[in-house]
């Protein structure tokens, strides 16, 4: 019981406020969790707050690989918070929470633990300022780095994590935010990032580039590239800005790279007709001057390495990464076990492109994919809907995942199938979802029970007894079904699977 001494100078209503301003039963402040409990990466992300915006003001010197930064993070508390974590690797000099200095320390390889000067009530604004510096390429907490130096700069892009190498964050797809990314680099270099370039200014030998993303973005989808680039600008048929950047010394790969990326607007318009309106404020891609054979769906500005274009134009990888802008970027995984919702759909977009270009229909590709692997092949032991952390980017997630979509299409018909894809985007735009969410929507839209189909194709670690499409009739007298011919696009589609796994 709490007693308040009454005084003539304190009216009854004021006394009541004094008594009940902080109820005795109010929960004591508690630390935010050091992870969001992801099935595969339980320590990824952090609890206790939800980020709405990151403002990053950076300065990068390629000669020494030194990065200096100030990150301002706008968030809202989700509990009465005594302390909280940020995922970060570089050296921290100062942390402010709501304008006041906060204590900070390290826990493990990538946890920055922040203790405000006083507890922050649940549901209150949280403004966190972190001043930091360091050499990102030196940080290899698990034997690898997502930050790579190039001949004239650096690039950061990786999945499932890349943000901790260059800014503090709540590093999990469930906590999306908008971004302002401002980077100063030595004159003569450019800084490429997500969204739209809002300003470019030069002063005292440095040029500052400021990029803005106004739609929610997962932290692993942010990217930064510093170097010498040739930049092209255009628009889609609907006027959406398209920005592509090519490393200045790509050599013989420059022409085929341009023959691919310069069709970005065309692909965005085509995919919009299948999946619904493009979800972001810009599109495009970039190719830094660093060797390799990989790609990533970094939001609004897909990342490609030059090796992808060594044999000529590569529209398959462009179609794949742009499809991710819907599947993976706009509608993101709830947990990393849901990766099929990203990779299976982007692969199926390649199959649709193959059909459009007359190089193999989706049915032909599905039939060939099914026949190409015997029942005892380890390929079939990986379940796309729960592949395991070690198989997050296994080709079964891509290829068997695409077969599952063809099986769904065969079962419900084209009208319902493409309605499912569009409603998925409409209902969950800028959000997160699980495989189970997709199953429920598919059943609702089609009016059909699909449990057996999805169990067979997504959850069972064995080759389905029948393929995703009707098999050809046996050849006369042979007793054997005809082996499907290899579609023209097959090897290119396989190559993109390998690139994404890199």
Predicted pLDDT of residue 3: 29
Residue 7 three-state SS? coil
Alpha-carbon Rg for the chain in angstroms: 25
Q: Is residue 122 within 8 Å of residue 79, measured between CB atoms?
A: yes
CA distance 250 to 26: 62
Per-residue model confidence as pLDDT tens for the chain (502 residues): 332 333 334 344 433 343 334 444 467 999 999 999 999 999 999 999 999 999 999 999 999 999 999 999 999 999 999 999 999 999 999 999 999 999 999 998 899 999 999 999 999 999 999 999 999 999 999 889 999 999 999 999 999 999 999 999 999 999 999 999 999 999 999 999 999 999 999 999 999 999 999 999 999 999 999 999 999 999 999 999 999 999 999 999 999 999 999 999 999 999 999 999 999 999 999 999 899 999 999 999 999 999 999 999 999 999 999 999 999 999 999 999 999 999 999 999 999 999 999 999 999 999 999 999 999 999 999 999 999 999 999 999 999 999 999 999 999 999 999 999 999 999 999 999 999 999 999 999 999 999 999 999 999 999 999 999 986 545 544 444 567 889 888 888 888 877 766 6
DSSP state of 82: S
Adjacent-strand bridge partners of 327: 331
Under DSSP, is residue 362 helix (H, G, I), strand (E, B) or coil? Answer: helix
In SS3 terms, 159-213 reads as CCCCHHHCCCECCCCCCCEEEEEEEEEECCCEEEECCEEEEEEEECCEEEEEEEE
Alpha carbon separation from 75 to 21, 47, 125 (Å, rounded): 24, 12, 6
In this structure, are residues 421 and 364 in contact, taking their beta carbons and an 8 Å threshold? no
DSSP designation for 360:
-
| pLDDT value for 23 | 47
SS3 27: coil
Three-class DSSP labels, 285-340: EEECCCCCCCEECCCCCEEECHHHHCCCCCHHHHHHHHHCCCECCCEEECCHHHCH
How far apart CA 144 and CA 236 sit, in angstroms, is 37
149: tokens are 């130096």
Q: What's residue 5's pLDDT? A: 32
Say what the pLDDT of residue 492 is: 83
Q: What share of the chain is helix, strand, coil (3-state, %, to 5)?
A: 30, 25, 40
pLDDT of residue 323: 98
Residue 38 is classified by DSSP as -
Quote the CA–CA distance of 127 and 139 in Å, as a whole number: 27
Predicted local confidence at residue 489, as pLDDT? 85
CA 326 – CA 349 distance, rounded (Å): 11
Per-residue confidence (pLDDT) for residue 483, from 0 to 100? 74
Whole-prediction pTM value?
0.92
Residue 164 structure tokens = 């901790």
**CA 308, CA 387: separation in Å to the nearest integer?**
26
Q: How far apart are CA 395 and CA 397, in angstroms?
A: 5
Q: What is the DSSP string of 251-287?
A: GGGHHHHHHHHTTHHHHHHHHHHHH-S--SS-EEEEE
Alpha-carbon distance 289 to 295, whole Å? 14
Q: Is the dihedral of CA 356, 357, 363, 365 positive or negative?
A: negative
**Beta-carbon contacts of residue 39 (< 8 Å; ≥ 6 apart):** 335, 336, 337
Contact criterion met (CB below 8 Å) for 423 and 323: no
Rounded Cα distance, 147 and 134, in Å? 12
For residue 221, the 8-state DSSP code is G
Structure tokens at 95: 């942390």
Asked if residue 137 lies in contact with residue 145, where contact means CB atoms within 8 angstroms, the answer is yes
* Backbone φ and ψ of 241, nearest 5°: -65, 135
- State how far the Cα of 99 lies from the Cα of 16, in Å rounded to an integer: 31
* pLDDT given for residue 338 in this prediction: 98
Helices 435-446, 395-412: inter-axial angle, 10-degree rounding? 10
């Amino acid at each position: 019981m709490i007693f308040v001494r009454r005084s003539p100078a304190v009216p009854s209503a004021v006394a009541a406020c004094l008594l009940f301003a902080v109820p005795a039963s109010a929960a004591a402040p508690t630390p935010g969790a050091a992870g969001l409990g992801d099935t595969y990466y339980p320590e990824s992300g952090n609890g206790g707050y939800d980020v709405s915006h990151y403002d990053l003001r950076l300065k990068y010197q390629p000669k020494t690989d030194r990065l200096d930064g100030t990150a301002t993070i706008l968030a809202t508390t989700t509990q009465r918070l005594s302390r909280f974590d940020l995922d970060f690797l570089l050296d921290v000099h100062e942390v402010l929470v709501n304008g006041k200095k906060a204590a900070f320390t390290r826990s493990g390889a990538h946890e920055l633990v922040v203790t405000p000067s006083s507890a922050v009530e649940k549901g209150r604004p949280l403004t966190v300022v972190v001043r930091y510096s360091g050499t990102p390429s030196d940080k290899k907490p698990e034997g690898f780095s997502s930050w790579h130096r190039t001949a004239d700069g650096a690039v950061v892009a990786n999945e499932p994590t890349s943000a901790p190498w260059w800014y503090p964050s709540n590093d999990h797809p469930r906590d999306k935010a908008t971004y302002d990314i401002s980077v100063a680099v030595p004159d003569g270099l450019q800084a490429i990032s997500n969204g739209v370039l809002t300003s470019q200014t030069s002063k005292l030998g440095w040029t500052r580039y400021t990029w803005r993303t106004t739609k929610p973005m997962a932290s692993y989808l942010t990217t930064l590239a510093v170097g010498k680039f040739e930049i092209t600008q255009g628009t889609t048929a609907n006027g959406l800005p398209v920005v592509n950047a090519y490393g200045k010394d790509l050599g013989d790969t420059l022409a085929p790279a341009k023959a691919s990326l310069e069709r970005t607007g065309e692909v965005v318009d085509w995919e919009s007709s299948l999946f619904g309106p493009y979800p972001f404020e810009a599109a495009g891609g970039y190719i830094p001057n660093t060797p390799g054979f990989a790609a990533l769906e970094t939001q609004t500005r897909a990342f490609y390495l030059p090796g992808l274009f060594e044999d000529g134009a590569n529209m398959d990888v462009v179609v794949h990464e742009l499809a991710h802008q819907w599947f993976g970027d706009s509608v993101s995984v709830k947990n990393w076990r849901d990766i099929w919702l990203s990779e299976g759909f982007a692969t199926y977009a390649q199959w649709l492109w193959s059909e459009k270009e007359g190089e193999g229909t989706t049915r032909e590709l599905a039939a060939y994919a099914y026949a190409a692997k015997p029942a005892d092949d380890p390929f079939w032991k990986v379940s796309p809907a729960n592949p395991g952390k070690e198989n997050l980017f296994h080709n079964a997630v891509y290829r068997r995942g695409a077969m599952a979509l063809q099986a769904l299409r065969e079962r419900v018909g084209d009208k319902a199938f493409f309605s499912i894809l569009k409603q998925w985007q409409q209902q969950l735009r800028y959000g997160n979802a699980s495989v189970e969410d997709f199953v429920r929507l598919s059943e609702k839209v089609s009016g059909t029970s699909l449990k057996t189909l999805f169990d067979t194709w997504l959850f069972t670690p064995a080759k389905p007894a029948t393929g995703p499409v009707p098999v050809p009739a046996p050849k006369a007298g042979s007793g054997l079904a005809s082996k499907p011919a290899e579609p023209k696009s097959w090897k290119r589609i396989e190559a993109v699977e390998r690139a994404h796994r890199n």
